[in-house]
């Protein structure tokens, strides 16, 4: 059995004020008895450093809404309410709770818990309309983190053989295509927003530590970053290939933007890259209407890896408002089904991105038919960035992010992936799946709310 893949988290706090959900106010009738500090396991209440006779202001950031302090205060001196900043952050998709979760996971690599439990709805839009089959969770050896069974999260990128061909003498004639193995079904992608140099370098170093890659626009790859070329996937257009031959020669994988020129001469462009070096080729395809037909044609033409990119909320691109644009999960299911019907699904690697904001979204994307996903915004949120959806996407980075040491930024990204890896293991263990490769297209392990709602109530209403 191969050695288990393990990520090493390390608590790495940032000295900045981030979004918090609950605001605790200590009233004037507080008698400084300290009862709240004794009953709060999250250390939201402490005595003042300057005067131990008095209680310090409550630490709202660590509060998990267990209400223990409220219940135990002998004078009823504590009041709790939702913070105004919490209510104004995020939006319909990137909800404030998601931002807080990602930020905390990046701090210590653990999965945050809520003292009051989960009180929200059990279905919603997008990935929230998927319920996963956790029936195997009752078996003790299916425990992904602590159990005895080995659960593998590695993924192969590249073209696969549909079948093997043998000669008259029973010798193997088929030549196995080159593939690249990564230990986690996640790639890093550079967001559209301009990033500081230390953040870019941290992404590369974190990717190297995690045995994955960063997809970077070729214009952003400086000489300093080229030293880490083993973990960088240069992203460029077909017209830029001749200009960046040296970079392509060093790369293990390159990402090419899908455009009209590529669609007309895909074979020629693919062969040109193969002559420069040995890099595998990703075709980056926008998730527009009928993208499944584009993907199917590329797969038939010999594409190795196809990257389907939805918008930051996981929605289909270029769809008019109110037109019922598809979510990433539905796009991936449609693409996967088309490839299965054409008997070529096993030959090509499919990457999904857009709206992947939690660990469960990775697993759910794979159940819908993706081989792996990419992420961008979760990494930025883990560094203290805030996202606002109204009226358009707006990402606000914290002041002083350029001065945060690169090792700190790197470790927070590693911490976030450690928390995600633990959750992916738990989901796989609960579903009885020991290989991440087996997750792909296992839609029978999920229940889709829209489908059961239609089956149950469609004829009545």
Residue 323 has a pLDDT of 62
Query: In a structure prediction context, what are the per-residue pLDDT tens digits for the chain, which is 461 residues long?
Result: 457 788 999 999 998 888 888 899 999 999 999 999 999 998 999 999 999 999 999 998 888 888 899 999 999 999 998 888 888 888 889 999 999 999 999 999 998 777 777 777 788 889 999 999 887 765 554 444 555 568 899 999 999 888 888 888 888 887 888 899 999 999 999 998 989 999 999 999 999 999 999 999 999 998 888 888 899 999 999 999 999 999 999 999 999 999 988 988 999 998 999 899 889 999 999 999 999 999 999 999 999 999 999 999 999 998 765 567 899 999 999 999 999 999 999 999 999 999 999 999 999 999 999 999 999 999 999 999 999 988 788 899 988 888 899 999 999 999 999 999 999 998 998 888 889 999 999 998 899 988 888 888 877 76
Residues 6+ apart with CB under 8 A from 400: 16
Q: Which of 272, 428, 291, 425 is nearest to 353 (CA)?
A: 291
Residue 147 has a pLDDT of 56
Residue 138 has a pLDDT of 59
Residue 264: how many CB atoms within 10 A of its CB? 10
Domains and CATH numbers, the chain: 22-82 (3.30.70.20), 155-457 (3.20.20.70)
Give the residue carrying structure tokens 């953040």: 199
pTM of the complete model: 0.91
d(CA 60, CA 54): 18
Residue 145 has a pLDDT of 52
Residue 29 has a pLDDT of 93
């Amino acid at each position: 059995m191969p050695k288990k893949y393990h990520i090493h988290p390390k608590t790495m706090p940032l000295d900045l004020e981030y979004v918090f959900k609950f605001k605790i106010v200590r009233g004037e009738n507080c008698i400084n008895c300290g009862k709240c500090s004794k009953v709060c396991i999250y250390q939201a209440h402490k005595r003042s450093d300057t005067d131990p006779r008095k209680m310090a202001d409550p630490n709202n950031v660590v509060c998990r809404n267990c209400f223990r302090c409220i219940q135990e205060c002998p004078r009823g001196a504590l009041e709790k309410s939702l913070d105004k900043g919490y209510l104004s952050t995020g939006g319909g998709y990137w909800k404030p709770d998601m931002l807080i979760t990602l930020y905390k996971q990046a701090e210590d690599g653990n999965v945050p818990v809520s003292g009051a439990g989960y009180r929200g709805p059990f279905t919603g839009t997008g990935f929230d309309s998927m319920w996963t089959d956790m029936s195997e969770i009752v078996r003790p050896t299916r425990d992904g983190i602590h159990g005895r069974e080995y659960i593998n999260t590695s993924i192969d990128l590249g073209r696969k053989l549909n079948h093997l061909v043998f000669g008259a003498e029973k010798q193997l004639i088929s030549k196995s295509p080159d593939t690249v193995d990564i230990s986690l079904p996640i790639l890093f992608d550079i967001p559209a927003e301009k990033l500081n140099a230390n953040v870019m370098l941290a992404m590369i170093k974190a990717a190297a530590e995690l045995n994955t890659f960063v997809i970077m626009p070729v214009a952003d790859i400086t000489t300093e970053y080229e030293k880490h070329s083993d973990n960088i996937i240069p992203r460029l257009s077909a017209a830029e290939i001749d200009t960046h031959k040296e970079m392509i020669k060093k790369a293990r994988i390159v990402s090419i933007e899908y455009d009209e020129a590529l669609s007309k001469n895909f074979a020629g462009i693919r062969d040109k890259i193969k002559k420069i070096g040995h890099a595998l080729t990703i075709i980056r395809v926008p998730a527009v209407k009928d993208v499944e037909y584009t993907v199917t044609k590329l797969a038939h033409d010999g594409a190795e890896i196809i990257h389907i990119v939805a918008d930051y909320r996981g929605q289909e691109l270029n769809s008019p408002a109110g037109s019922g644009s598809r979510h990433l999960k539905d796009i991936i299911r449609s693409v996967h089904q088309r490839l299965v019907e054409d008997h070529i699904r096993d030959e090509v690697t499919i990457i999904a991105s857009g709206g992947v904001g939690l660990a469960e979204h990775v697993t759910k994307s794979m159940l819908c038919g993706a081989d792996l996903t990419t992420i961008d915004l979760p990494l930025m949120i883990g560094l203290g960035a805030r996202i606002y959806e109204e009226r358009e996407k707006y990402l606000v980075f914290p002041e002083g992010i350029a001065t945060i040491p690169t090792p700190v930024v790197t470790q927070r990204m590693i911490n976030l992936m450690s928390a995600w890896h633990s959750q992916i293991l738990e989901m796989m263990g609960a579903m009885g799946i020991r290989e991440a490769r087996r997750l792909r297209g296992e839609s029978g392990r999920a229940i889709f709310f829209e489908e059961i709602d239609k089956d149950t109530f469609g004829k009545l209403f």
